[in-house]
A and B are shown apart, each in its own frame.
Chain A
Amino acid sequence: MRYLTTIGLEVHVQLRTRSKMFCGCSTAFGAAPNTHVCPVCLGYPGAMPVMNRDAVKMTIISGLMIGSRISEFSKFDRKSYFYPDMPKNYQISQYDKPLCVGGSVEIDIDGVSRRIGVTRIHLEEDVGKNMHFQHSSGIDFNRAGVPLMEIVSEPDISSPEEAFAYLLALKQILLYAGVSDCNLEEGNVRCDVNCSVRPEGQKEFGTKTEIKNLNTFKGVLNALKYEIPRQVDVLESGGKIFQETRRWEVETGVTIAMRSKEYAHDYRYFPEPDLAPVVTSCEQIEELRRNLPELPRTRRERFIQQYSIPEYDAGVLTADVAVADFFEQSAKLSSNPKAISNWIMTEMLRLLSEREMDIRKVVVTPAALAGLVKLVDEKVINSNSAKEVFALLFEKGGEPDQIVREKGLVQVSDSGAIEKFVDQAIAENAKSVSDYLAGKDVAAKYIVGQVMKMSRGKANPQLVASIIEDKLKVEKMKRGG
């Protein structure tokens, strides 16, 4: 029998605010344990939360990016459960009045695009981190109270690959929105996965299981690739799926049911009495909408139109918002956007990936890249020299024309000078000359290479090629004639 899979994702995204959700403590990653804490985020007696307006704004921006309806009236609620990493033993979250309702994320699977519905986006605070030592346990509360946005999808996802594509698309949008660093190594994005299977033809969904706290997209993919066949196997062998929470074990590659004690909660939600409702006016929402960053897809289309670059280029350049920004800033300073695109897609991305670097940290400026392209287009330097200049720009930054001047890379287009080199090359490479005369056209290329070497790469290659061709033709006529 064939089975249909239904997947829904709850994605928790850390917002890039400077301070925590309800206090002034820093959200910076990697500090010594319990150094970014205060009475509020430690749940001390008498401490009270104060809402971080930036976090609310970022959540609304995220909602607008995916077409959510923004709630003019929203509120916070207390979600109660006991856990050592939770200072107050309740989490301030949003229950029935989330900031954003509805929306969707577009994904491409095998060239076909479809929309995955988003149910809601709400705002909540993160918990601390339990640490276990040989004879004791400790809790680091630095992360406690860090703002998290929870994005809940509709059960619209039908395969592990779609789930993976959804996560990538979502991450791309959030990076475009500038609301999160989406740094998976730092735990900025964590997912809970709901999944069920049902025999083809059956209308109602099967019983779902929830896999909690996956902190990589690959983890989501692999957990689903394990969990779906597991459920099918259970059903095929006449078994029953229990609604339960499971944990993904990376080492063994299986999902394991958690003890009910670990997850069965009656959260006893009720409105947070320490915080006023979040009221956002139509004007404020419209103001944010007007200044909304472009969606990745919109930008890709615009790049094709505005800069006349191929669809493939536009796709590569817009994958990462920082790369897209770099391209756009450079292209705006240049009359040859395609050349800019080529430099970024080949040299720049290659060097970045070789060094595992982020484009936000490069020293080469968009103006420098545009300047380099101009030097090539105006034939001041040839493409060999340009690569050398680019390498220097990438290492140390600076101005391309200054580098060209200092390194003496200005292209030699003086035919007298080139002719001297060519004569020498022909004289020194009799074998290649006779090969050429015997009909091997490639032999000319070798001689071009020799000339470029003699000029230390500075000779204008087109000029070199045409002079060689002329000279060899003369030679041919001499011998043949």
Chain B
Amino acid sequence: MSLSIANMTICEAIALLEGKQCTSVELVSVLLNEIRRIDGTLGAYLSVDENDAVSQAMAADKARSEGRKGRLLGIPLAVKDVLNVRGQPCTCASKILQGYIAPYDATAVAMLRREGAVLVGRTNMDEFAMGSSTENSGFKITKNPRNIAYVPGGSSGGSAAAVAGGEAIAALGTDTGGSIRQPAAFCGCVGLKPTYGRISRYGLTAFASSLDQIGPITKNVKDAAVLLGVMAGRDEMDSTSVDVPVPDYLTSLSGDLKGMKLGLPKEYFVKGMDPEVEAAVRTAVEVCGGLGAEVVEVSLPHTDYAISTYYIIATAEASANLARFDGVRYGFRAAGAEDPIDMYGKTRAAGFGAEVKRRIILGTYVLSSGYYDAYYLSAQKVRTLIKRDFENVFMQCDALLTPVSPTVPYKIGETSSDPLRMYLGDIFTVTANLAGICGLSVPCGMSSQGLPIGLQVLGPAFREENILRAGHAYESARGLIRYGE
């Protein structure tokens, strides 16, 4: 038989491997061929070590032949370039980390390895996860596989493009303000941002420590549930990870929504959003109603303050997190410096891209003495209000249904001169990060131009089973979407 990665899910690949219909080496070889064939056009990957991928696959096949088990034994996965994978580059799509080879595995990566996953390559992203289009990569622009004139979203645009473009079975992304959910929506795949503290952040190069979270980008909800199950859990190395038991997420995928109460926050259906997006989401809501869910309108009154709150907190934390990239210990160091201060200046001027510099300056400003109270402290207070909004609505319902983004994907180059417009595109996703709750992005249709539209399912903290169940039932009822038609 001929293997095709294009629509293959993790669960299907596992079945093939377990049924001895193919080996991991075969799977990985086909995948590497696809990358060779497609990636010149899509630009989803920053680095692929073919030999290493094949030897990992050989080890997985050998382990299987020896009777060893592993929930992902022999399954090739792509990893966003912001996560440390021992022995691989981890540039965060920044020139400042050129030459840095990760000396250790991020905890989430180590958990994938323990289950036998084959880590094929590193996907492109907006530099240090700052951006929503993957145009801010220090190395290249990733294209939307559904229409290569369009952005794939970001910052995990490389991961989403690889999965949607048939260059990966599934991938890891990270989400600070929508960086998993939005590219998944833009590319027409599934993206899960788990609850803050659900998956260890150890080894995730921090952008905004109180907002960052690792999560899967997959072809369907079931695969997202599989990967979450592998990576979730308390980690001693991450003091912000939480010791909440990890349920068997697969058992929550009942296929119906009987007894579930779903909320529609009225602040998430606003004037100015793309009517095609609204129509697609409203249709999806109807489908959910048809699956037995009770749909109620709810209110999250502080939504309007979310974007400014988010950009103050995220940039403040980023300004400190990115201070370590100074050319002293690893990565790029500018030549010709006269003293350490000069070396920092030259290295950071040449190493960081414009968007990263903009955010470092913004973050430095909001933390400066005299401004801290007005900006950072106020933002933290508003953050508490936003969190409370969600606590209130989750007393009334099990999950919320909203659009992922107010727009469909835009053309490459369209927002790059207008950062504010790009920031506003995060309006429906940043709240989940501010509140620390979980969110899922599921494809729910396409625009008249054939561009994907995503449905966002938000759930209470540590209730991923709610959003996976809702997303899975909807996805099963929805039927196939043929993009570009």
Contacts and interface: CB of A to CB of B under 8 A. Distances in A.
A276 B196 CA distance: 13
Contacts of B341: 82, 261
A89 B202 contact: no
Contact of B239 (A51, A84, A87, A139): A51
A268 B365 CA distance: 9
A45 B84 contact: yes
Contacts of A99: none
B20 interface: no
A274 B323 CA distance: 15
B206 A46 contact: yes
Given A87-B329, A275-B239, A46 B205 contact: yes
Interface string A9-50: 000000000000000000000000000000100111111111
Interface in A127-158: 139
A266 B369 contact: yes
Contacts of A280: none
Contacts of B236: 50
A269 B100 CA distance: 29
B237 interface: yes
Nearest to B325: A45
Interface residues of B, number: 44
A146 B424 CA distance: 43
B202 A46 contact: yes
B173 to A, nearest CB: 15
Given A43-B329, A45-B84, A270-B372, A83 B340 contact: yes
Q: Output the residue of B90, B203, B323 with the most chain A CB within 10 A.
A: B323
Given A46-B204, A48-B202, A266 B239 contact: no
Interface string A435-466: 00000000000000000000000000000000
Contacts of B203: 46-47
Contact of B209 (A87, A274, A276): A274
Contacts of B204: 46
A84 B206 contact: no
Contact of A49 (B92, B97, B239): B239
Q: Output the residue of A46, A273, A274 with the most chain B CB within 10 A.
A: A46
A78 interface: yes
A90 interface: yes
Contacts of A80: 319-320, 323, 367
Interface string B188-218: 0000000000000111111011100000000
A74 to B, nearest CB: 14
A209 B305 CA distance: 44
B103 A84 contact: no
A269 B210 CA distance: 16
A438 B100 CA distance: 98
A45 B330 CA distance: 10
A246 interface: no
A88 interface: yes
A87 B320 CA distance: 12
Given A46-B206, A50-B239, A88-B323, A268 B97 contact: no
Contact of B316 (A43, A139, A270): A270
Nearest to B103: A39
A43 B84 CA distance: 13
B211 to A, nearest CB: 9
Interface string B243-264: 0000000000000000000000
Nearest to B94: A45
B55 interface: no
A82 B329 contact: no
Contacts of B148: none
A78 B329 CA distance: 20
A89 B236 CA distance: 24
A299 to B, nearest CB: 39
25 contacts: A44-B329, A44-B330, A45-B84, A45-B324, A45-B325, A46-B90, A46-B102, A46-B201, A46-B206, A48-B239, A50-B239, A51-B239, A78-B320, A80-B323, A82-B326, A82-B341, A90-B323, A139-B328, A268-B319, A270-B316, A270-B376, A273-B317, A274-B209, A275-B239, A276-B240
Given A42-B329, A47-B104, A273-B208, 12 more contacts: A44-B103, A45-B92, A45-B206, A46-B84, A46-B206, A50-B237, A80-B319, A82-B344, A87-B329, A261-B341, A266-B369, A273-B209
Interface of B: 83-84, 90, 92, 97, 100, 102-104, 106, 201-206, 208-210, 236-240, 316-317, 319-320, 323-326, 328-330, 340-341, 344, 364, 367-369, 372, 376
Interface of A: 39, 42-51, 78, 80, 82-84, 87-90, 139, 261, 266, 268-270, 273-276
